[in-house]
Amino acid sequence: MTDPAPMSDAELTKFGAGMIAYMRAVYSDEARILLPNVKGIPADEEYIGIFDADGGLLAITDSQDAAMGYLYRKKITARWVI
C-alpha cells in the first residue's frame, strides 16, 4: 500500500473548511481584537475560541458546554489545541 500524496496547507484548509474546527483558549486581550465591535469584555478572563480549519473565528464562549453545543448544531468536528 502506498502513502497518499501529502496535502499542502491550502488544500488541507479547503478540505476542512466548514467541517473541521479547532478550539483553544482565548484571553480577554485577544478577544477584544477578534471582536472589535463587542464592548465591555472583562479583563483577565479566559474564553474558548472555536476556529475554522482555515483559522477564521467561528465563535467565542465562556462555557465548554456552549462550545460543544455550537459544534453539535453545526455538525462540525473539533479538537482542542493546547
Position 14 scores a pLDDT of 65
Q: Is 39 exposed, middle or buried (0-12, 13-18, 19+ CB in 10 A)?
A: exposed
- Measured in degrees and rounded to the nearest 5, phi and psi for residue 43 equal -75, 155
User: What was the pLDDT predicted at 19?
Assistant: 81
pLDDT in tens, 24-80: 999 999 999 999 999 999 999 999 999 988 889 999 999 999 999 999 999 998 888
**Residue of 7 and 69 predicted with greater confidence:** 69
The pTM for the full model equals 0.78
* Res 1 pLDDT > 60: no
